[in-house]
């Protein structure tokens, strides 16, 4: 039986993660998909949270990836930390067997355990709805993608303590 292991990315996984991203987002018009460059840039930024860069290892091979990075929600009352999900990728030869869902769920659970309260994503509403995401604009969140409607989504995570304030509202700054 092949075993699925979900875990934070290790520095030694960088090459395998790049290969998964490159294969999942391959396009004939670009040598390196922008998602590969994005993750490379995020690794060297203040937005990088190594414990929230999750890999799916299936049969000893890294075949899935979900990344949560730091964003800020700004409002008149100041700013509040939040998370952005993406990119999410599964190697083409392992798609459609639930690995993407598993690695996203693992990332969301890790964020919840760390006491995070809000995750935003730009993506397919039918896919992300299964994790509890809904339209971000209806939750008082704006961004450059607000005009896209349903693909701009947010997920409110459970509070780590009772009496915790509601999740932030305002402009999401990446």
pLDDT in tens, 82-91: 999 999 999 9
Mean pLDDT of 30-43: 97
Q: Within 13 Å, how many C-alpha atoms sit on residue 59's CB side?
A: 6
CATH 3.40.630.30 matches 4-173: yes
What SS3 class is residue 115? Answer: coil
Confidence tier at 129 by pLDDT (50, 70, 90): very high
pTM higher than 0.85 for the full model?
yes
Mean pLDDT of 144-157: 95
Q: Which helix (H) or strand (E) holds 55?
A: strand 53-58
- What distance in Å separates the CA atoms of residue 20 and residue 18, rounded to the nearest whole number? 6
For position 1, what pLDDT does the model report? 67
Confidence tier at 164 by pLDDT (50, 70, 90): confident
């Amino acid at each position: 039986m092949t075993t699925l292991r979900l875990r934070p990315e290790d520095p030694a996984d960088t090459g395998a993660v790049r290969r998964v991203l490159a294969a999942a987002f391959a396009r004939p018009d670009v040598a390196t998909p922008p998602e590969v460059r994005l993750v490379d840039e995020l690794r060297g930024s203040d937005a990088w949270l190594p414990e929230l860069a999750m890999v799916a290892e299936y049969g000893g091979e890294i075949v899935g990836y979900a990344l949560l990075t730091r964003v800020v929600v700004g409002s008149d009352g100041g700013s509040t930390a939040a998370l952005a999900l993406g990119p999410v990728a599964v190697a083409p030869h392992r798609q459609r067997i639930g690995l993407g869902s598993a690695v996203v769920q693992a990332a969301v659970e890790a964020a919840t355990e760390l006491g995070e309260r809000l995750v935003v994503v730009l993506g397919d509403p039918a896919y992300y709805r299964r994790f509890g995401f809904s339209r971000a604009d209806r939750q008082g969140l704006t961004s450059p993608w607000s005009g896209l409607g349903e693909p701009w989504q947010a997920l409110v995570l459970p509070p780590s303590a009772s009496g915790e304030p509601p999740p932030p509202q305002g402009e999401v700054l990446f």
